[in-house]
Amino acid sequence: MATTFTRIIEGELPGRFVWRDDECVAFLSINPLRPGHTLVVPRSEADHWIDLPADANAHLMRVAHEIGAAQMAAFTPARVGLIIAGLEVPHVHLHVVPIQRESDLNFANVDLAPSADSMDTAAAAIRSALRARGAPHVAD
């Protein structure tokens, strides 16, 4: 059975994509810790990041780096946090989160009902910053 993320990747469920390439995608979290909270997800299903080949992990990290740099430009946070937890969906994903303080990474503080406008604005800001950086795989 396909994971929730596979269903998003295949268009069965909606997603606000900011990046698409042959190996992975990046889209906004539906329950963001902070505005711009983005998930970098491999197209291939694997439950645990250590189950992926090293080159796949390296690619995810390169994409997370691009997304994080775009978030710095778009949101001017103090830092961009990176979490690989993987307990909520059994499909590898990297949380890339613009943060002001370490406590911004506490999953108890997710926004359970972000407005569509705030999500669209955040996605557009990340896409714009990616384009400004010359990123090759910005999602439309």
Tens of pLDDT, residue by residue over 105-115, are 999 999 999 99
Local structure of residue 71 (DSSP, 8 states)? H
Structure confidence at residue 88 as a pLDDT band (50, 70, 90): confident
Would you say 24 and 42 are in contact if contact means Cβ atoms under 8 Å apart?
A: yes
CATH no., domain 4-132:
3.30.428.10
Distances (CA, A) of 83 to 6, 46, 132, 139: 20, 17, 25, 22
pLDDT, residue 74, reads 98
Location of structure tokens 């997370």: 64
Statement: residue 1 has pLDDT above 80: no
Alpha carbons 135 and 128: distance in angstroms, whole number: 10
Kindly state the tokens that stand for 60: 């995810």
Alpha carbons 32 and 92: distance in angstroms, whole number: 17
- Tell whether the torsion through CA atoms of 54, 60, 66 and 67 is positive or negative: negative
- Span 101-105, average pLDDT: 96
- Span 52-71, average pLDDT: 98
Catalytic (active site) residue 93: yes
- Span 86-111, average pLDDT: 95
Query: What share of the chain in percent tops pLDDT 90?
Result: 95
Question: Pick the catalytic residue: 59, 91, 93, 95?
Answer: 93
